[in-house]
Amino acid sequence: MVEIENPTTLINKDYESIELVTFAEWIEGFERLANLGVGLILEPGDDVYLIQNQLDLIDLIALDFSNFDDGRGYTQAYLLSKRWKYVGEIIGINAHLDQLQFMIRSGVTSYQLLESYKGSNEEDYSNGFSLCYQAAANNNGLNLQY
Amino acid sequence: MYKYSEKDTQFLVERVDQFEKQLNRYLSGELDEDKFRSLRLRNGLYMELHAHMLRVAIPYGILSSNQLRALADVADKYDRGFGHFTTRQNIQFNWIQLPEIANLLRDLTDVGLHAIQTSGKATRNITADPLSGLTEGEIEDARPYCELIRRWFNLHPEFSWLPGKFKIAINGAKLDETALRIHDLGLRLVKNKKGELGFSVYVGGGLGAAAMIGPETASFVPIEDILSYLESAMRIYNLKGRRDHQKKLRIKFLVRELGAAEFSRLVDEDWQQTKNDPELKLNLKELQSLKEDFELPIDPINLKGFRDEVDFNYSIWKKNNVRSHKVSGYSIVTISLTKLGSAPGDATSEQMRILAKLGDQYSSSEIRTTKRQTIVFPFVRKDEVFDLWKSLEENDLDSPHQGTLAQIVACPGRDYCDLAKAVSIPIATRVQERFNEMNKLLDIGDLNINISGCENSCAHHHIADIGLLGMQKNGEEYYQITLAGETLHETNIGKKLGPSVSSETVVDAVENIVNVFIDNRKSEEKFTDVFKRIGIEPFKEKVYG
């Protein structure tokens, strides 16, 4: 077993515990980390293009949405999901209630809300509309009208 | 006239419902100030000096008379009886109480109006030539494209949290009334050698402290590929735009730092991945349907033998405010709201209702707004122009200032806006008082003055013949003067005249500049022509002596 330094763990959509590495750790040691079943945390400033050819080696990618006004995560999700057809889980972490609809439609497949939103009605913000005006990574069951 | 479908209206209602929940969470303390600020701005809601200001979208500047009546009702019910038409063709209400916002927005949904993305770091209202579809020589009416692009970027999941605001203008005419090259992204409808329709794209223009003219990033994008191209431009901006410096958020800084060639290359590289995606092709069937919706509601009429009324005041007004129409028998009428002492663009609810009624009577119930904060009646029969003028005269809306120096564009300034460094409206009033003789105004001719109260440049002072920018020096209000900005035939940012001048002397400076222009012009030369011929020095000498 290869040791992962400073592991962070996260529960994935199947309620399994999965160890996460940072983007820097992955870039530096992806050959060592490949096939260990690890997940990867992508911060908004991390260059998602650098992992484009390594997606088969990653089980889960966690996109960090903690900064409310930083929209780079939505493009990261789109590139992973729609353009590069990543089949692993794309989880939005540190997510904000009011941004769920944008995250989901950009290609995020699961999410973990920040603690402060516990008990909120997620449906109001994940799927509050009857239609959408643009084709996106995921139309989330909305009728497309454009 | 194009109207939202039931589905579109339902979408507006759903958006209000969602915003009301966010508002209630904020009022109950569940949602913090910073997050609510970000959310409310995406719904056009600002916290101003004295109250909340709401900006309502007027997509590409077109209103039905019923929509204008609804705005008048909002002014009475939720504001102090007036609204302010902006330089981006929208309308603002300055005295809104926070708990009433949802009801206000709900009232507007009944007539297909909303405040979605009228502010915030997302795609803003798309502006168009207020004369779209009305003048000869147009390449194509831009409005159906404006509508399709507006829809596409409405709550777009990938591009609703950009580094900065993102303003788009689209022009289909020969002259550029939209000032597209000072927008974050400007689209010019063009035809290629095969006669196919497409867009030239300009990215990275903008005013503010670092005014820039957007370079061309693509000379021809076929119309069906425009959505994918726009997405690619926004994607590069979203990923690489500056988020670390509050004053460098706009795309112009990214384009400048990367260089236009490198930015274009990155956009093109991304676009090659998506341009053939059938989901991203412009919906040509819907485009055709929209073209039918936007068809002019008038047919040519034969007015052989018609002789217009002879009246001195009417003839002055007509010279300045009436333009020829491409449809025979019709005119385009511009109505100036500018009155001495009132904020340019301000309209009372009573004026709005009068304009709505006159719009029904004389302009097929359609009314347009312009970046010069005026109102356009696009479909007035030539033999009814006099009757319209009489009605305007009765209601004190017959200001003959259109196209003259007195038609000043000004932001709300320090009187209303907490960002402003200096007042704007009182300066506009003083300039109007100085040039209050119609003979003098007619002699000066077409000359525009724009006054911004701060570097945010809401009044677009950089692109005026004479631009005034308010600033503070040792606690006093000063004005920096720029000359010979223009966008109509070519785009030029106004040149700084020299040191800023005090509030006391700024009107003298304006008069001196106008006198240099009059003394030096030859025949029909415009201000920018004179400036290009004689240079800045004669203006400097006269102002700074």
Of B14, B239, B274, the CB nearest to A129: B14
Q: How far is CA B53 from CA B78, B101, B262, in A?
A: 11, 10, 39
The pLDDT, as a whole number, for residue B382 is 97
The pLDDT, as a whole number, for residue B481 is 98
Residue in chain B nearest A78 by alpha carbon: B158
> For residues B412 and B432, what is the distance between their CA atoms, to the nearest angstrom?
16
Q: Are the beta carbons of B10 and A137 separated by less than 8 Å?
A: no
Residue A2 inside a domain? The answer is no
3-state class (DSSP) for residue B144: helix
Residues of A in contact with B117 (CB under 8 A): none
Q: Are the beta carbons of A68 and B238 separated by less than 8 Å?
A: no
Token pair in block for residue A20: 């996460």
> For residues B294 and B144, what is the distance between their CA atoms, to the nearest angstrom?
7
The pLDDT, as a whole number, for residue B287 is 97
Q: Are the beta carbons of A136 and B156 separated by less than 8 Å?
A: yes
CB-based burial of residue B175 (10 Å sphere; 0-12 exposed, 13-18 middle, 19+ buried)? middle
Whether B62 and B365 have beta carbons less than 8 Å apart is answered as: no
Task: Answer whether residue A9 shows pLDDT above 80.
Answer: yes
In chain B, the domains with their CATH numbers are 6-109 (3.90.480.20), 135-291 (3.30.413.10), 312-394 (3.30.70.3340), 409-544 (3.30.413.10)
Residue A100 inside a domain? The answer is yes
Residue in chain B nearest A134 by alpha carbon: B152
Whether B234 and B222 have beta carbons less than 8 Å apart is answered as: no
The pLDDT, as a whole number, for residue B47 is 84
- Which element (helix H / strand E) includes B46? strand B45-47
Whether A139 and A105 have beta carbons less than 8 Å apart is answered as: yes
Q: Which amino acid is at B362?
A: Y
Question: Does any CB of chain A come closer than 8 Å to the CB of residue B66?
Answer: no
Q: How far is CA B111 from CA B4, B5, B10, B71, B407, in A?
A: 9, 11, 12, 10, 30
Q: Which of B80, B99, B16, B43 is nearest to B350 (CA)?
A: B80
CB-based burial of residue B341 (10 Å sphere; 0-12 exposed, 13-18 middle, 19+ buried)? exposed
The pLDDT, as a whole number, for residue A6 is 57
Q: What torsion, rounded to 10 degrees, do the Cα atoms A8, A10, A16, A17 define? A: 20
Helix axes of B537-544 and B527-534: crossing angle, nearest 10 degrees: 100
Task: Answer whether residue B50 shows pLDDT above 90.
Answer: no
Spatial CB neighbours of B390, under 8 Å, sequence gap ≥ 6: none
Q: How do residues A39-93 score in pLDDT, each as one tens digit?
A: 999 999 999 999 999 999 999 999 999 999 999 999 999 999 999 999 999 999 9
Residue A133 inside a domain? The answer is yes
Ranges A9-18, B63-72, B495-504: which has the least confidence: A9-18
> For residues A57 and B75, what is the distance between their CA atoms, to the nearest angstrom?
60
Whether B15 and B116 have beta carbons less than 8 Å apart is answered as: yes
Phi/psi of residue B205, nearest 5 degrees: -85, 165
Token pair in block for residue A40: 């990867």
State the count of interchain CB pairs (< 8 A) between A and B: 97
Task: Answer whether residue B81 shows pLDDT above 80.
Answer: yes
> For residues A36 and A21, what is the distance between their CA atoms, to the nearest angstrom?
11
> For residues B258 and B270, what is the distance between their CA atoms, to the nearest angstrom?
16
> For residues B367 and B298, what is the distance between their CA atoms, to the nearest angstrom?
14
Average pLDDT, chain A: 91
> For residues B136 and B292, what is the distance between their CA atoms, to the nearest angstrom?
19
Task: Answer whether residue B338 shows pLDDT above 90.
Answer: no
How is chain A classified by DSSP, letter by letter? Answer: -PPPSS-EEEE-TTS-EEEEEEHHHHHHHHHHHTTS--EEEE-TTS-GGGGGGGGGG-SEEEEE--STT-THHHHHHHIIIIIS---SEEEEEEE-GGGHHHHHHHT--EEEE-GGGTT--THHHHS--SEESS--S--TTPEE--
Residue A1 inside a domain? The answer is no
Residues of A in contact with B13 (CB under 8 A): none
The pLDDT, as a whole number, for residue A125 is 84
- In the 3-class helix/strand/coil scheme, how is B461-527 assigned residue by residue? HHHCCEEEEEEEECCEEEEEEEECCECCCCCECCEECCCCEECCCHHHHHHHHHHHHHHHCCCCCCH
Whether A111 and A81 have beta carbons less than 8 Å apart is answered as: no
Strands (E), B343-390: 346-348, 366-369, 375-381
Of B38, B39, B238, the CB nearest to A72: B238
Residue in chain A nearest B280 by alpha carbon: A135
Question: Does any CB of chain B come closer than 8 Å to the CB of residue A99?
Answer: yes
Please tell me the total count of domains within chain A: 1
Whether B362 and B324 have beta carbons less than 8 Å apart is answered as: no
Of B18, B161, B279, the CB nearest to A124: B18
- Which element (helix H / strand E) includes B179? none
The pLDDT, as a whole number, for residue A126 is 82
Question: Does any CB of chain A come closer than 8 Å to the CB of residue B154?
Answer: yes
> For residues A76 and A72, what is the distance between their CA atoms, to the nearest angstrom?
6
Grade residue B339 by pLDDT with cuts at 50, 70 and 90.
confident
The pLDDT, as a whole number, for residue B341 is 64
> For residues B302 and B506, what is the distance between their CA atoms, to the nearest angstrom?
50
The pLDDT, as a whole number, for residue B345 is 87
Q: How do residues B260-294 score in pLDDT, each as one tens digit?
A: 999 999 999 999 999 999 999 999 999 999 999 99
Q: How do residues B125-169 score in pLDDT, each as one tens digit?
A: 899 999 999 999 999 999 999 999 999 999 999 999 999 999 999
Min Cα distance A102 → chain B (Å) is 4
Grade residue A122 by pLDDT with cuts at 50, 70 and 90.
confident
How wide is the angle at C-alpha B301 spanned by C-alphas B297 and B306, nearest 5°? 135
Most confident segment among A72-76, B25-29, B373-377, B524-528: A72-76
Average pLDDT over residues B374-397: 96
Q: How far is CA A91 from CA A63, A78, B121, B238, in A?
A: 6, 13, 24, 20
What is the number of other CB atoms lying within 10 angstroms of the CB of residue B85?
26
Residue A80 inside a domain? The answer is yes
Interface test with A, best of B158, B246, B251, B272 (most A CBs within 10 A): B158
Interface predicted TM-score (ipTM): 0.95
Question: Does any CB of chain A come closer than 8 Å to the CB of residue B238?
Answer: yes
Question: Does any CB of chain A come closer than 8 Å to the CB of residue B151?
Answer: yes
Residue in chain A nearest B20 by alpha carbon: A124
CATH number at A36 reads 3.40.50
Task: Answer whether residue A2 shows pLDDT above 60.
Answer: no
Question: Does any CB of chain B come closer than 8 Å to the CB of residue A50?
Answer: no
Phi/psi of residue B473, nearest 5 degrees: -135, 115
Average pLDDT over residues B500-519: 96
CB-based burial of residue B51 (10 Å sphere; 0-12 exposed, 13-18 middle, 19+ buried)? middle
Average pLDDT over residues B170-186: 95
Whether A136 and B155 have beta carbons less than 8 Å apart is answered as: no
Grade residue B407 by pLDDT with cuts at 50, 70 and 90.
confident
Average pLDDT over residues B41-50: 86
Average pLDDT, chain B: 94
Grade residue B376 by pLDDT with cuts at 50, 70 and 90.
very high
Residue in chain B nearest A121 by alpha carbon: B21
Grade residue A5 by pLDDT with cuts at 50, 70 and 90.
low
Residue A12 inside a domain? The answer is yes
Helix axes of B101-109 and B65-78: crossing angle, nearest 10 degrees: 160
> For residues B53 and B97, what is the distance between their CA atoms, to the nearest angstrom?
9
Sheet-wide strand order for B82-85 = B45-47, B52-56, B91-96, B82-85, B346-348
Q: Are the beta carbons of B35 and A133 separated by less than 8 Å?
A: no
Q: Which of B413, B393, B403, B386 is nearest to B479 (CA)?
A: B413
Whether B52 and B82 have beta carbons less than 8 Å apart is answered as: no
Min Cα distance A1 → chain B (Å) is 36
Average pLDDT over residues B39-64: 91
Q: How do residues B411-442 score in pLDDT, each as one tens digit?
A: 888 887 888 999 998 999 999 999 988 888 88
**Structural domain of A140:** 8-144
Task: Answer whether residue A1 shows pLDDT above 60.
Answer: no
Residue A78 inside a domain? The answer is yes
Whether A102 and A139 have beta carbons less than 8 Å apart is answered as: no
